[in-house]
Structure formats: C-alpha cells, structure tokens
A = this chain, B = another copy of it.
Amino acid sequence: MAAPRANMSYRDIKQVVLDRIHNKIWAPDSLLPSETDLAEEFSSTRTTVNRALRELAEEGYLERKRKAGTRVLNAPVRKAQFAIPLVRDEISETGAEYRYALVQRAVMPAPGWLSARMNIPHGRDVLHLRCMHYAGNAPFQYEVRWIVPDSIPDVLEADFSRSGPNDWLVQKVPFTNLELSFLATKADQSVAEFLDAQAGDPIFTAERITWLRGQPVTLAKLFFAPGYRMTTNL
C-alpha cells in the first residue's frame, strides 16, 4: 500500500488516490479532503495535488466542482480513447503494403438524405467518390465519400486517382468539428464485391462528418472488410 511520504510527484499522488478509491478508503459518492488538506498530508503543494486530482477527474474517476469539493464517482465513467489513424497508417503498421484505388468519381446534385444530414441546400452539386484501400492484396476498407466543394478551393481539380481523398483533405482542409459514428451494416452486392465478402455479411462501418466553422466539408462512410475489429486497451 502506497504510504504518503515527502517529495511525492503528482503521479505518486494519483496512484495513492486511486488506491484509496479501490480500497474504499474513500467510498463512492464520498467527498475527498480539500486540496489544501491533501497537500498538507502529502507534504506537497496545492498545485501538485491539483494536477493529480484534475487528471483523475479527466480520466473519469472523480467529479470536481468549485466549492462543492471533489467527489468519488461511483461508477467510474471510463473513457475509451481510440486513435483515428489514416487508413494508410493503420495498414502500414500491420506491416502490409498499402495500396489504393479510385473506383468512381462523379459530380452530382446532393441526394436528399445527404442535404438533410449535412445541412446542404437542396440540389447543390457535390463531389462523390468511391475508393478502395488494400492491405497487400487483401481488401481492407471501402470508402464512399461526399465532398461539398463550395468552401474548398481546387477540390474539383484534385487528382484522386493516385491517392485518397483523406490524404488530400488532411493536407488542405482543417476541420473544426467532427462527428464520428460506428455501426454494423449489411453488405450489399457492391460492398460485398469490393471487400471480398458475401452479400449480407455484417460489416463494421464508420461514418464521419466534418465541418469547418459551421460549414459542412465532407461525409465519409467507411466499410471495413469482414473480421475487422477496433480495439483499445486502458
């Protein structure tokens, strides 16, 4: 059991606090001593204790309110963090060679569901792309993307036959807001063919919509090959 001693770093303090929470020395829903008191107990300063508690709160163990104090959360809302790598990097990391192919490119009026979803004026032209990402020879991800060209200079002239829209957009267009969803979809005939799956197979799917200061930028549907799983440890 970690015992308070002098010269404890904020990391040490975090650990001691965590231990006490686990051992119910500070029970769920109970209040912790004030930062001042803890600083004294740990022969530390309030600044250091503050950092420890602040981080534990960020990690979902504590709840802090001015004047109200610091409270132990009864069901720690542990937060899963997923890095969202570029497909290219995700594939490279497995050691496989990343390959890309453009399947289709078209400029077309925004379909109704897209207008509604991204708040685009009805009938506005959008750029529509379908691409494949391969890990070696195996299909890895099928990408269906819409890009709103209005606020993105040059996008209609960009060449997406050699590298994907993601690479291009990351370079050219920053975004301020992102909505990311994960869901399971059923492979239709076309998706199945591209991903080397059977029609009807369950497909892990990500949908990401990005905005730049209120303006819709792009919507991507990413269909992962069968067997894909997104994993995190914490």
Task: For residue A154, give the distance in angstroms from its CB to the closest CB of chain B.
Answer: 15
A92 within 8 A of B: no
B184/A185 in contact, CB under 8 A: yes
Stretch binding the partner chain, chosen from A93-101, A117-125, A136-144, A224-232: A224-232
A80/B79 in contact, CB under 8 A: no
Q: How large is the interface on A (under 10, 10 to 19, 20 to 34, 35 or more residues)?
A: 35 or more
- Copies of this chain in its oligomeric complex: 2
Main secondary structure of the interface of A (DSSP, over half): strand
Task: For residue A232, give the distance in angstroms from its CB to the closest CB of chain B.
Answer: 5
Q: How far is the CA of A74 from the CA of B88 in the complex (A)?
A: 14
B202/A182 in contact, CB under 8 A: no
A112 within 8 A of B: no
B170/A184 in contact, CB under 8 A: no
A81/B79 in contact, CB under 8 A: yes
Quick one: which of A145-199 are within 8 Å of B by CB?
Answer: 170-171, 174, 177-186
- 26 A–B contacts from the bound complex (CB under 8 Å): A74-B171, A75-B89, A77-B83, A77-B85, A79-B82, A79-B84, A80-B81, A80-B84, A81-B82, A177-B234, A178-B234, A180-B232, A180-B234, A181-B231, A182-B182, A182-B229, A182-B231, A183-B204, A183-B229, A183-B230, A184-B202, A184-B204, A185-B202, A201-B202, A202-B202, A202-B203
